[in-house]
Amino acid sequence: MQAEAEERYEAFHTECPARDVVDHVTSRWGIWVLISLRSNDLRFYELRKSIQGISEKMLAQTLRALVQDGLVWRKVEPTTPPQVTYGLTEFGRDVGEPLTELFDRITRRLSPRSAGARPAH
């Protein structure tokens, strides 16, 4: 039993399932979804409004991946139209905590002037 508890994924192996989760979490939008859900459960449109620049399609794809990975839960209310709410699972809170800390550290260190002075992409 002890050997099972110490068994870990081989993260540098291309077939490692943990790599997919890391890819989803660190994707362009995955981080923002996890940070946006850190303190509140949000409905789809609220989540989209909170993450400026994300398209409906990309939000739906990102949420689908994070739900499949077990980081985000999805609840559908049978209304017309259906109301869909998303929130973080325990796993999602655990993974999202260091991302939130990273985001908070970065925003504390950046002055509003330096953040606005970024070159355009």
Q: Phi and psi at residue 102, in whole multiples of 5°? A: -60, -50
| Tens digit of each residue's pLDDT (9 = 90 or more) over 51-109 | 999 999 999 999 999 999 999 999 999 999 889 999 999 999 999 999 888 888 988 88
Is-cis flag, bond preceding 81, omega within 30? yes
Which secondary structure element, helix H or strand E, spans residue 35, and what is its range? Answer: helix 30-36
| Tens digit of each residue's pLDDT (9 = 90 or more) over 2-20 | 445 556 777 777 778 788 8
Q: Quick count: other Cβ atoms within 10 Å of Cβ 48?
A: 17
Q: Phi and psi at residue 86, in whole multiples of 5°? A: -125, 150
Q: What is the DSSP string of 37-50?
A: TSS--EEHHHHHHH
